[in-house]
Structure 1
Amino acid sequence: MFKTIEESIAYFSSWVWDWPLLVLLIGGGLFLLLYSKCVPFFYFKHAIQILIGKYDDPKNPGQLSHFQALSSALAATVGMGNISGVAVAIISGGPGAIFWMWISAFIGMATKFYTCSLAVMYRSEDDKGSVLGGPMYVIMNGLGTTWKPLAVLFALAGLVGTIPAFTANQLTQTLIDVLAWDDSDRLYIGLFLAGIASLVIFGGIKRIGNVAGKLVPAMVMLYFVTVIVVLLLQLEKIPDMFMLIFSDAFSGKAVAGGALGYLIKTGVKRAAFSNEAGIGTAPMMHGIAKTNEPIREGLVAMIGPAIDTLLVCTLTALAILSTGVWQHTDSNGITLTLDAFNSVLPYGLGDILVMIMVLVFAFSTLFSYSYYGIVCLGFLTKPKFGNYYNVVYIASIVVSAVVKIEFAINLIDSAFALMAIPTVISTLILAPKVNKRAKEYFTSLKV
């Protein structure tokens, strides 16, 4: 029976991530990019100033500072999608898939500006006065109750899409690979991971925000330094790797049958998992930022894809490609990344460093993703019942540690696709509202 479920999810994932959804994500994002006339990109410096707290006001409504909101959103994205997901993209789509991840990320910056601005513009409150944000509230408060089925679709898909299947699975695989544990230990590893995660997520969103605010800067810096060392040892190969990415992006030679369309789809899918632009998870976190100015949070959110895809994913890709391990291995996911590091770093140092980074990356993701499920369940029932999702979430960590990587990937891809449909549609309809608010805000800055 489980095999039938696996096959059904794999078929649905393949079907739903075909051209209609890619046109919606990339076409919709490209429209938003052009519709904004790229104006938000000219305020990147201002976005950094907002991020570091120049405009923070503790009296503003919300639960998290701008920095905590971005850190918590990044904690959910700068994780296994950037270490393991890039390896999956290269194995399944070839080096050219990285180019399409870049394109998707650049367009995704515009998408995130709009979706997260809207999340603040149309957020809601629970009965305790705490703010709630996300595409479902944007749909209900921005488009009205006639569009409620679209909001319900997002929330239902979100209950599945926020299950940490890929992260728990690949973290388990890392521990097995590095510590030479037996494959039969997966269940015990899953129970251990669930126990650690529960210590943070049952503390609520403020604890998650505090932990993420400390973990994310540290993990990005550690990963950056480690990969730079690997690349310095392979420095002469880096220009060729960039040429390989660009040439393969349009030829698709590394893909079976030279299927360029498949290569593009692979890049866009993995970018969606890496930065989640257009999926709708980040607006749930950015929507609760302490601010009364939606455009500020949209600008902060725009930084996300630049960090997790354009920076971190690129570093991972160059490390894997420059070592050449991807050309002669059956490994996939995190195992391939480990192979790449170990082929360059001496004395098993790659294992140790990658395990440390994976532990930090993965746990930060496990901590943050739970909040998204809470918001989705709270919308479908009542906000006060949302925390019951944590019980399901903790149990899913144990299950995810045992299943195959292919099942984990297909499950999350399927849910993300269903979440993207309401997110992008509502954003396109309400984009004029953001433009109007942005014009007022940017004009006030000049004054």
Structure 2
Amino acid sequence: MIETIAAVNQAVNSFIWGIPAMVCIIGVGLLLSVRTGFLQIRKFPYAIRTTVGRMFRKRDASDGAMTPFQAVCTALAGTVGTGNIAGVAGAIAIGGPGAVFWMWCSALLGMCTKFAEVTLAVHFRERSDTGEWVGGPMYYIKNGLGRRWQFLAVLYALFGVLTVFGTGNATQVNTIVAAVDTALLEYGLVGNGFLPTLNLIVGILVAVLVALVLLGGIKRIGSVSEKLVPFMALFYIVLSVGVVVLNFSRLPYVLESIVAGAFNPAAFTGGTIGSLFVSMQKGVSRGIFSNEAGLGTGSIAHACADTKKPVKQGMFGIFEVFADTIVICTLTALVILCSGTSVSYGAAAGAELTISGFTTTYGGWASIFTAVALCCFAFSTIIGWGLYGSRFLVFLCKSNKVARPFFVVYALVAILGATMDLGLLWSIADTFNGLMSIPNLIALLLLSGTVVQMTRAFFESEG
């Protein structure tokens, strides 16, 4: 029975995350880019000034809201996860260095998609019974498309609830446990026999921390995110840049392998990977997985921002994709390719390949620092998806009273994720994650005219 369910889910998953999904996500991104005159390129300097410039302005948000910086940190917390370390490694191993080039292409279009998602989320948001701002795809479908499209909002929220426990929580805790176990075993600090107990302790610790953050409400979620996300991103960027600097002589060849390998993979993989399609597919899908442009989840956090200008907050969407994919994912790729670590092209790979890139350059001690980075990335993802999950459930139940019980249950799932092999659940959660994109992409397509009008009006008013 389980084998049958697994086979059916695999077939559905392959379709959802296969060519149709990529065509739809890229197609909507291209349509929005064309209709806004490639805003993400034309207004990129403005987006950086608006986002990075505002990050260093300290101010308090009004009740029931986050500062714009806290909102983008919470959104980044949900997107900058273990996929930035493990997913990029897998894309390179299966698609060759050229996959990085296609990842950049998907990010370029994804910037405009996420800009549209954030803009619509802020524009069509509403106040909850507790006075908090709530928004996201289910709300811009509800308030922007009218009654006959309400079923799309319900479907989106339902798929979201079915996703959060696996994708947003248990798989991330599994990564934390694996990173801690690997680092401690390598230095002989624990034995294999102690690992089950250690995993339980880690699971309980993560559950307590998650509960403390989420039960503190939107203010505490924003406060933790604005401290954790910049720290972990800067920490990882410094380590990664160090690898590139110490192996600078290899950089020209690496850049050539990324650009030329995008069109001729076999020339840089020893003939193991010769398919242009495979390289393109892995790069594009990695970009989509990484920045979640098209899934709409990040816009839920942005809807909490204390701002009166949806388009201005939308600029954070452009910055978010840039920081997540162009900066962090690219640095992961450079760590692997510049370090000279062996890559078994054609075979599946994950975080161990990225860790090998660091240890090849710095030595074995770097595995400890990589484990710390993985733990930070995974924990931030759990927090971000915890917020998303509560919003999905509140929308479905039409009551804010379900949020706190959800946070408790969500936190306890961390213990299961640390101690059990849940196997099929991860694959099913991944399927529902992909299904979330369908209602969101339909909404973006139907509301693209609204995005164009709002964008034009905003920049005309700005002069």
TM-score in terms of structure 1 length: 0.91
Q: In 1, distance between residues paired with 2:93 and 2:424?
A: 16
Aligned to 1:207: 220
Q: Aligned residue for 1:47?
A: 47
Q: Is the 8 A contact 1:170 1:334 kept in 2?
A: no
Between 1:54-63 and 1:131-140, the stretch displaced more is: 54-63
Q: Which residue in 1 is equivalent to 2:18?
A: 18
Cα 1:238–1:215 change in 2 (3 A) is: same
CA displacement at 1:134 relative to structure 2: 0.6
Structure 1 residue 175: Cα displacement: 1.0
Counterpart CA distance in 1 for 2:442 and 2:292 is: 16
Contact 2:96 2:273 in 1 (8 A): no
User: 1:128-153: per-residue Cα shift (whole Å, max 9, x none)?
Assistant: 22211110000010001211111111
For the 8 Å contact 1:77–1:276, the answer to whether it is kept is yes
Match of 1:415 in 2: 432
1:445 aligns with 2:447: no
Q: Distance in 2 between matches of 1:310 and 1:9?
A: 32
Q: 1:149 aligns with which of 148, 151, 155?
A: 151
CA contact (8 A) 1:341 1:351 kept: yes
d(CA) in 2 for partners of 1:209, 1:248? 41
Match of 1:343 among 360, 370, 378: 360
Distance 1:5 1:326, change over 3 A: farther
Corresponding position: 1:389 with 2:406: yes
Encode CA deviations 1:388-426: one digit per residue, 9 max, x unaligned.
Answer: 322342233233335669857644532232111111110
Q: Which residue of 2 aligns with 1:177?
A: 182
Match of 2:90 in 1: 88
Given that 2:115 and 2:315 are in contact with CA atoms closer than 8 Å, whether structure 1 keeps it comes out as: yes
CA contact under 8 A between 2:94 and 2:348: conserved in structure 1? no
Distance 1:266 1:406 in 2: 23
Match status 1:373 vs 2:374:
no
1:193 is aligned to 206
Question: C-alpha displacement at 1:223, in angstroms?
Answer: 1.0
User: Which residue number in structure 1 is paired with residue 71 of structure 2?
Assistant: 69
Alignment deviations for residues 162-203 of structure 1 (CA, whole Å, 9 cap, x no partner) = 332432222221111111153645444333322322221221
1:122–1:391 Cα change, 3 Å: same
Which stretch shifts more, 379-388 or 143-152? Answer: 379-388
Alignment-derived partner of residue 31 in structure 2: 31
* Mapped contact 1:57–1:290 kept (Cα < 8 A): no
Residue aligning to 1:236: 249
Q: Which amino acid aligns with 1:97?
A: A
| Cα distance in structure 1, aligned partners of 2:8 and 2:36 | 40
Q: Do the aligned residues in 1 keep the contact of 2:116 with 2:444 (CA within 8 Å)? A: yes
1:315 match: secondary structure: helix
CA distance in structure 2 between the partners assigned to 1:412 and 1:251 by the alignment? 35
Question: In the alignment, is the contact (CA less than 8 A) between 2:101 and 2:283 conserved in 1?
Answer: yes
Distance (whole Å) between structure 2 residues aligned to residue 413 and residue 87 of structure 1: 19
Select 2:99's aligned residue among 97, 100, 105.
97
Of 294, 318, 333, which aligns to 2:350? 333
Q: Which moved more, 1:75-84 or 1:313-322?
A: 75-84
Alpha-carbon shift at residue 427 of structure 1 (Å)? 0.9
Deviation per CA, 1:285-309: give whole Å up to 9, x if none. Answer: 1111111111011112210010010
Partner of 2:261: 248
* 2:316 equivalent to 1:316: no
Counterpart position of 2:291: 275
Alignment map for 1:115-126 (pairs within 5 Å): 115-126=117-128
Residue 320 of structure 1, CA deviation: 1.0
Deviation, structure 1 residue 74:
0.8
Verify the 8 A CA contact 2:102 2:262 in the aligned structure 1. yes
1:311/1:408 CA distance change after superposition, 3 Å: farther
Q: Equivalent of 2:453, from 436, 439, 443?
A: 436
Q: Deviations over 1:366-387 (max 9, x none)?
A: 2121000000011111241233
Equivalent of 1:354, from 358, 370, 387? 370
- Following TM superposition, by how much is the alpha carbon of 1:125 offset from its aligned partner in structure 2, in angstroms? 2.0
CA contact (8 A) 2:128 2:134 kept: yes
Secondary structure of the corresponding residue to residue 172 of structure 2: helix
Identical counterparts, % of pairs: 37
- Distance, in Å, in 1 between the alignment partners of 2:428 and 2:103 is 20
**Deviation, structure 1 residue 284:** 0.5
385-394 vs 272-281, greater mean Cα deviation = 385-394
Given residue 47 of structure 2, which amino acid in structure 1 is its aligned partner? A
Q: Are 2:443 and 1:426 equivalent residues in the alignment? A: yes
Farther off after superposition, 138-147 or 201-210: 201-210
- Comparing 12-21 with 224-233, which one deviates more in the overlay? 12-21
> Is there any run of 5+ residues in structure 1 with no aligned partner, and where?
none
8 Å CA contact retained: 2:81, 2:380: yes
Shift of 1:265: 2.6
CA drift at 1:278? 0.9
Q: Equivalents in 1 of 2:200, 2:324: separation in Å?
A: 30
| Letter of the structure 2 residue corresponding to residue 343 of structure 1 | T
Amino acid at match of 1:172: V
Q: Tell me the secondary structure at the aligned position of residue 216 of structure 1.
A: helix
* Cα distance in 1, alignment partners of residues 355 and 318 from structure 2: 30
Q: Work out the number of aligned pairs and report it.
A: 445
CA distance 1:198–1:112, shift in 2 (3 Å): same
